[in-house]
Structure 1
Amino acid sequence: MIKPTPNPPIRLFTVADGISTEDLLVNLSETLASANALSCDLAFDLEGAKREELLGVAQLIELAQLLADRVHDGVGHTTAAA
């Protein structure tokens, strides 16, 4: 019998319980910064449509970075107010 859907992939990485929201956001920001640097470096080695596509990915990463920074700033204000 053939299954209608495949098994979900096995997770290789997990996030440990008990890590503060601020620490998670800092790690998220560092990961996004690394992804942005990698995509920009690679994009500048390409030409034409592929370069434009990868620069689009870099822009999406940058937007995610701005959102993460805004959330991180909000966490700092909430913690200070409490």
Structure 2
Amino acid sequence: MEQIHLTPMNDRLAEQDQQRMLALLREGPGTVPELAIRLRMTVARTNFLMQVLVRKGLVWAHRHVSCGQGRQIELWEIRQDS
């Protein structure tokens, strides 16, 4: 996987957004599209930051939900062992 280098300002913003995501996930599991809406971020940014949280070992998706088109979407939640 290609590593992305962030500037200090972008790094701070990414960390703030990750903390906002974790705060929502403490309330209960959610999908990336649901979190994106609640956080007022794009789905692409939310998905990118979710993958950062996965690499940090803070979240996981052991369940899936069906979307309107019959596809499975990952249901993310806080790792209990973190």
Please indicate, yes or no, whether the TM-score normalized by the shorter chain is above 0.5: no
- More helix per residue: 1 or 2? 1
Question: Normalised by the size of structure 1, how large is the TM-score?
Answer: 0.33
Between structure 1 and structure 2, the one with the greater Rg is: 1
Which one scores higher on RCO, CA 8 angstroms, separation ≥ 6?
1
